[in-house]
Amino acid sequence: MCEKIVAISLVVLLAGCQLHSSEPSGSVRVSGDYKAVADCFYLKIRNEGFWRVEHMDSQQMTEVIMGNAQYTAGTIRFQQVDSQTTEATLMIPHPGKFSPKIQECSGSLLPS
């Protein structure tokens, strides 16, 4: 049994501690500014585990990442489609758990 745990740990270590796929597991399109929608979503889930936010303004994108500096368990990317539309791409296990929370943030706008 101990040998299996060591083998699995070695595979995870050699995989760069990336525990999720980089392939999308779902997407949600909502109205609102991408930053405001991402911030709204983060406020809803921040107490559910290890989450962090990375704003990439030059790419008009924000990523909400499940994990810490050593590993990533999943990512939700919020990208501006146009001035009133955001697309959230989920690369995370169980995307159905997070989609409703993203939809609750539909219509979020940045304060003026």
Q: Is there a domain that residue 64 lies in?
A: yes
Q: Is the confidence at residue 108, as pLDDT, over 90?
A: no
Which two structure tokens, joined as six digits, stand for 74? Answer: 């999943």
Q: Is there a domain that residue 29 lies in?
A: yes
Q: Is there a domain that residue 86 lies in?
A: yes
Q: Is there a domain that residue 73 lies in?
A: yes
Residue 60 makes CB contacts below 8 A (sequence gap 6+) with: 34, 79, 80
Q: Is the confidence at residue 32, as pLDDT, over 70?
A: yes
Q: Is there a domain that residue 110 lies in?
A: no
Q: Is the confidence at residue 103, as pLDDT, over 50?
A: yes
Percentage of residues in the chain having pLDDT higher than 90: 55
Q: Is there a domain that residue 24 lies in?
A: yes
Q: Is there a domain that residue 60 lies in?
A: yes
Q: Is the confidence at residue 10, as pLDDT, over 50?
A: no
Number of domains in the chain: 1
Mean pLDDT of 9-15: 47
Domain of 56 in residue numbering reads as: 19-104
Which is nearest to 31 in space by CA: 65, 95, 78, 69?
A: 78
pLDDT in tens, 57-102: 999 999 999 988 788 899 999 999 998 999 999 998 888 899 999 9
pTM here is 0.77
Q: By CB neighbour count within 10 A (0-12 exposed, 13-18 middle, 19+ buried), where does 20 fall?
A: middle
What pLDDT, on a 0 to 100 scale, did the predictor assign at position 23? 77
Q: Is there a domain that residue 83 lies in?
A: yes
